[in-house]
Amino acid sequence: MTRRRTLRWILLLVTSSMAMTVGLLQAGAQSSTPAATPEQPTVVREVLASGEPDAAPGELLELVQYTIPGNITLPVHVHPGMQVSTIVSGELIYTVLEGEAYVTRAGSDTPEVITPESGETAIHPGDRLVEPEGLVHFARNGQPEPIVILTASLFSADEPPSTVVEATPAA
């Protein structure tokens, strides 16, 4: 089996596991989410599982739950590998500045392409988002309630999960 095919199987298995886990997380997400203070809202990154696949030496496969506090905008950033996510609760307002992302809406099997020309795109509970390596993007939570996102990623093991980049969002 080729490395690419093995990686696809790994991502498929992780994505399937994410879908099964979403129901469990929805029940407890609100009660386990730390409260963000208005003075210093912070994103909580909780690694649920992690490992270095034999089929992808030097790569780190992670399952992560992000909790994004209300009324904040994340900085423009990139990831050092592919990331697939599903929204557990809340509404993520997502913007691509360079590249293409793909969202598959809850109840659909057809992905939609998100480009810089798409402007802001609302991602809702049950929607799935695919972010290829190097995609320049940012997101915001425009509501007071936190957003909970379940993410699987395959990143270089020696790089941070995201890097802030110098880019100006379109007005």
pLDDT in tens, 29-69: 333 444 444 566 799 999 999 999 999 999 999 999 999 99
Cα angle for residues 17, 18, 20 (degrees, 5° grid) = 65
Q: Which amino acid is at 75?
A: P
Q: For the chain, what are the domain ranges?
A: 3-157
Amino acid 169: pLDDT? 62
pTM: 0.76
Homologous superfamily, domain 3-157: Jelly Rolls (2.60.120.10)
Q: Select the more confidently predicted residue: 134 or 32.
A: 134
pLDDT in tens, 144-166: 999 999 999 999 999 999 999 98
How far is the C-alpha of 83 from the C-alpha of 72, rounded, in Å? 21
Amino acid 2: pLDDT? 56
